[in-house]
Amino acid sequence: MRSTASISAATLIMVLIFACVPSAWAMDPVTMDEIRTAYREGRDGDVVVLADRALADATGDRALRAEINFWRGAALRRLKRHEEALVAFDVARDLGFARPELQFERAVALLKLGKQEEADRAFQEAEKLAQEDPPKLDDLRRRWREARDQDQK
């Protein structure tokens, strides 16, 4: 009888642990803020490390994983790791991240890899996504001109 009680208690403990695991694995919003802050501060290596850690924790949330992959890709692009950046951008896109910034970042990475036609198509997609926000569209166009000018030097 004693072992049955132990098994029941152990089973109850396991049920409680597994019931708590999803909330324990959920991405802490502070970590997403850390990723954004590190990116704004130019700490691209930290962004990649934080993003990798966050991706391990955000297994069930597609939108969160998409945004994390976007920031990871943007940091990788600034680190001149363009092929890796494109992989992260494609994952973000496949997870539903449909913002003009994603296509802009893809365009710049493709440009740096010498894939001009693909870069132009990605930038055209960025423009299409930004049509409803004229200031953003103007900013993207300015930044695209700068990226193309730098690439020609």
CA distances from 124 to 34, 50, 51 (A): 31, 31, 28
Which is more confidently placed, 95 or 4?
95
Question: Considering only CA atoms, which of 51, 75, 76, 77 is closest in space to residue 65?
Answer: 51
Average pLDDT, whole number, for the chain? Answer: 84
CA distance 99 to 137: 12
Tens of pLDDT, residue by residue over 128-153, are: 999 999 999 999 999 999 999 987 77
pTM of the model: 0.77
The tens digit of pLDDT for each residue in 63-121 reads: 999 999 999 999 999 999 999 999 999 999 999 999 999 999 999 999 999 999 999 99
Looking at residue 9, what is its pLDDT? 53
At 85, which helix (H) or strand (E)? Answer: helix 82-94
Number of helices followed by number of strands (H, E) in the chain: 8, 0
- Is residue 59 predicted with pLDDT exceeding 50? yes
